[in-house]
Amino acid sequence: MVSGPSRLDAQARGWKTLRGLHPIPIDLDRLQLIRERLPSELSQCDALEELVLQLGLNDEGIDEYPPQLHPFCGHGLRIWQYPRQFARYLANVASLGVRSYLEVGVRHGGSFVATVELLRRFGALDHAVAVDIIACPALDTYARSNAGVRCAWLNTQSAAFEELLDGLGTTDLVFIDSHHEEMQCRLEIALLAPRANILALHDVSNVRCPGIAKVWNEIKEDSRFQCVEYVEQYAELGPFMGIGLAIRKDRMSTT
């Protein structure tokens, strides 16, 4: 068993590494690909999967992507998701009447802006908040030209994060994709689950993130939630990534 101080030392080393990972500018003009489509098109999983490719994928950890996706990596929005998982996830959350969104761990910002834009195509999104310990200039630019969008560059283990959450109140959809370590994931779930109607967790089926899978499996056993998984894989890889969606039965209907 790992001792308390050792675990804290490991977390401190992790934060030091993260602070050296500078976000790369993304092509916000790609968002026009979402804005020009009808909701009826955006609700179709196959069409959404193709759209995610056109929006552009991240090229970090490119070994997790199959060769046929490599031409779509390293440009555009740099979305760090499997298109076949992200498309089905987006199609579902778009049908849930989401009016407020919080994403914890945004990296280059691609998943955040794509989600915000898609949710807006399906109804009124009152506000959306991006949170990360590393400032993402592309999202600052996006927020300045999009009412209701704000960014908070802070540590989720800080008092400032709790103050932010208290100010937001209940959020319809919270997506957690931050430091992929079990202890931090548990701490973030403890803070966010009581404040969220719908909780999404990334890397629930990633062979490189066993701690996240462990936390997600515990959420699936919680009778307060209706859970859905988006864990479709590509042949001879992984398993990698994976999105878990937990909907509070007492707060929001899935219909």
Tens digits of per-residue pLDDT, 44-76?
Answer: 999 999 999 999 999 999 999 999 999 999 999
User: What is the separation of C-alpha 179 from the centre of its chain, rounded to a whole number of angstroms?
Assistant: 12
User: What is the separation of C-alpha 19 from the centre of its chain, rounded to a whole number of angstroms?
Assistant: 19
Tens digits of per-residue pLDDT, 174-229?
Answer: 999 988 889 999 999 999 999 999 999 999 999 999 999 999 999 999 999 999 99
- φ, ψ of residue 52 in degrees (nearest 5): -60, -40
Q: Which of 175, 198, 189 is nearest to 253 (CA)?
A: 198
- Rounded to whole angstroms, how far apart are CA atoms 243 and 79? 14
* Burial bucket for residue 158 (CB in 10 Å: 0-12, 13-18, 19+): exposed
Q: Assign 198 to helix, strand or coil.
A: strand
Residue 255 has pLDDT above 60, yes or no: no
* pTM of the predicted protein model: 0.91
Could you tell me the domains of the chain?
A: 4-248 (3.40.50.150)
